[in-house]
Amino acid sequence: MGYTIRRVAVIGAGTMGAAIAAHLANAGFAVDLLDIPPKSLTPEEEAKGLTLDHPEVRNRIVRAGLERAKKAKPAAFFVEDRARLIRIGNTEDHWDRLREADWIIEAVVEDLAVKREVVARIEAVRKPEAIVTTNTSGLPLREIGAGRSPEFLAHFAGTHFFNPPRYLKLVELIPGPATKPEVLDALERLLELRLGKRVVRAKDTPNFIANRIGFLSGAFVGKYTIEQGYTVEEVDALMGPLIGRPKTAHFRLLDLVGLDVAAYVGQHSMAALRHDPFVALVQDSPMNQVMAAMIERGWLGNKAGQGFYKKVEAPEGTQYWPLNLQTLEYEPPKKPRWESVGKALKMEDLRERLRFIAAQEDRAGGFVRDVLDFYLAYAAYVAPEVADDIVAVDNAMKWGFNYELGPFETWDALGVAETVARIEARGWPVAEWVKDFLAAGGRTFYQYENGRIVGYYDFRERAYRRLEPHPRVIVLRELKSEGRVLERNPSASLIDLGDGVLCLEFHTKANALDPDIFAMMERALERLDREDWVGMVIGNQGEHFCAGANVFVIGVSAQQGMFEAIDQGVRAMQRLMMTMRYFHKPIVTAPFGMTLGGGAEVAMHGARMVASAETYIGLVEVGVGLIPAGGGCKEMIRRVLTPAMQTENADPLPFLRRIFETIGMAKVATSAEEGRALGFLSEADRIVMNPDFLLHEAKREVLHLAESGYRPPLKAKLYAAGRDLLAALRIGVWQMREARYISEHDAKIGEKLAYVLCGGDHPEPMWVDEEHFLDLEREAFLSLCGEPKTQERIWHFLQTGKILRN
């Protein structure tokens, strides 16, 4: 049968439960969030004369959990208004609300007895066919669900969300002892499409996949670090981007997680993994004593202000002093350097970099080689126990911890036979299926065609199986390896997405806009016009969509007085943006991540925007002493002010002030939904929860528009407010300057921005063409480029990455 999920209940308003409820609300679900009523009054409640029976008291714990979620940094909600979808209550007065839920998530404390009691109570009230999942990081589902009816167990599973659930994409989906396949399928579809998660199916084993491998390999790193005399800084320099892992590396990650949390997970894991032969290799670690001493002193990591690192304000600025693991004293940072690491970091291809660094006989190579060998040996040993295939293991590690490669992809890069030889030489266990694989002549765990993975080795069948691509995922790298690149220059490529749809991909550093990108945009529009293409997507799969214009080029040109060149560049961008907006075939932009300045202007000039939910969009040019000049000011007038002024006797000031603050304060949306609230996205633009599906959905939008008989919009007439509104904005700027909230140069930028947004200082409001605002944008931009203080801001930003308020 099909399962329709409309209402969800979350039991437990702790860190995870409240955050899960918040993300469900982000996805548009109505949510009931319940927690226990308190058993004693606070002093404040006693002072008010309240009793334990008062509703304010009985919902205190759940209300506090929701308030923490509202204040969380980074934000748990896309926009604060989403919290209205959450109805709070307690587990005594409001338990009957579970009868309304289509999906009930148990997210109480990691205590088997407590979870079993809660699950038993759920069974007594849940409606038939309602799905129940336990959110646990490793407790056995067969024990949590023990004693429940067959009908309940058929709809019972585990959903292990990683924290924070809005940002970490992995959800491990764990079948219970009798879960129906259609229930698992329904959950997987919902998690992928509605919640934007990446789903891995795991077996009901201790700590499941990611935490099982991550914990034990992390424990090995800790033990090895002290026994071999490495420092905190050295380990983090070797365990981060060098080997395709996040900058948090090892010790920074522990500080982020919290040492108390890490210790709790460690104690639980060691108790649950007594059967595991690899546990003996990490037992009696001297790191245990170090962490115990740190916890006793309250050095719990980021939440305590110090852990393996301590934030120190030095004359040179903020520094992070690492802990000396022998003396337990913090020391000034030394920034370790190795010649081999310097060479490796110049290698763009991660597989090549891993082979190189692991082959080095220096201190860096030895650490990376030993740590990776243990990680790979353990992943292979536990794979058949925790997962159905190596793909699930690789995906769990990549999606759970943001690794670029999973363990079996890493093993292929290093060489399977060579790595096995090293592991055996150390006396570590080698999985029998790996020995059989090599004995049968196997060389790599994956099969590759033109650098693309097309098959994987199935350790159950002892044979390769075809790896079927996800129907909603487009991978540009794979399309390029198939020869689908139509044109390319150093900054951009034009790729055939299939079905008559082009893709314009940026690939500069931070995808910053430069002349080569604009040249490729010109070529794309020419081909779209003259050839038999139905439309185009502007998108890429870099770290961010676009960080804006190349500020270095602007800074050099301004410093050398090349204002004619700047003018020509701005005119070219404005012309391209207007061509895109009124093109006779649909052009869909697909922003994600940082979409700033010129990147926001590109995103706003398509026929539609199909944005990732995690799109951080903003016009931030004032940060370097400029204003938007690629149509950004014009677009905000078109999107925010002009529609409002279609109503007779409407007051333009609130809308103008909103635009002025958005641009003048360089506001960046913390989500695509907030971007819509700020005016960057229109109601017609779409938001995609799963970033893996973004290009697929953008392509679908092109095809939908084309098949619907797409016609470009009529040329717009925009509302130019004129002199009176300009005076009002100028008064605001003057007040800010007089109160010393802004500098003289900030005020000058604000004056010019106000002039542009009001369409000049004409005596009466009037309706004007878009070009009127574009001309004003360009003139103000050029004027500010000539200002010495703007040039100072540009160079300060380029040198430090920080904003100068001069």
Check residue 266 and give its pLDDT: 86
Check residue 509 and give its pLDDT: 92
pLDDT band at 445 (very low <50, low <70, confident <90, very high): very high
| Residue 595, burial from CB neighbour count under 10 angstroms (0-12, 13-18, 19+) | buried
Please answer whether residues 628 and 749 qualify as being in contact, where contact means their C-beta atoms are separated by less than 8 angstroms. no
pLDDT greater than 90 at residue 257: no
> Span 370-379, mean pLDDT?
97
Please answer whether residues 695 and 474 qualify as being in contact, where contact means their C-beta atoms are separated by less than 8 angstroms. yes
Phi, psi of 620 (to 5 degrees): -110, 15
pLDDT greater than 70 at residue 218: yes
pLDDT greater than 90 at residue 450: no
Domain boundaries, the chain: 7-201, 210-466, 477-790
Check residue 801 and give its pLDDT: 87
Helix-strand-coil split of the chain, %, nearest 5: 50, 15, 35
pLDDT greater than 60 at residue 1: no
Short-list 575, 583, 585, 589, CA closest to 518 = 575
> Span 552-570, mean pLDDT?
94
CA distance 486 to 527: 10
> Span 268-275, mean pLDDT?
86
> Span 66-74, mean pLDDT?
94
Check residue 671 and give its pLDDT: 98
Q: Do domains 7-201 and 477-790 have the same CATH topology?
A: no
pLDDT greater than 60 at residue 331: yes
Check residue 315 and give its pLDDT: 79
pLDDT (tens digit, 9 = 90+) per residue, 337-353? 999 999 999 999 999 99
pLDDT greater than 70 at residue 705: yes
pLDDT greater than 80 at residue 317: no
210-466 topology per CATH? N-(1-d-carboxylethyl)-l-norvaline Dehydrogenase; domain 2 (1.10.1040)
State percent of the chain over pLDDT 70. 100
Q: Encoding tokens for residue 21?
A: 């409820």
Whole-angstrom CA distances from 770 to 121, 178, 642, 661, 755 are 63, 63, 11, 21, 15
Whether domain 477-790 has CATH 3.40.50.960: no
Dihedral (Cα; 738, 744, 748, 751), 10-degree rounding: -10
509 in the Ramachandran plot: left (φ > 0), alpha (ψ -120 to 50) or beta? beta
Please answer whether residues 197 and 190 qualify as being in contact, where contact means their C-beta atoms are separated by less than 8 angstroms. no
pLDDT greater than 90 at residue 265: no
pLDDT band at 299 (very low <50, low <70, confident <90, very high): very high
The reported pTM is: 0.93
CATH superfamily of 7-201: NAD(P)-binding Rossmann-like Domain (3.40.50.720)
Whole-angstrom CA distances from 32 to 37, 127, 260, 364 are 15, 15, 30, 51
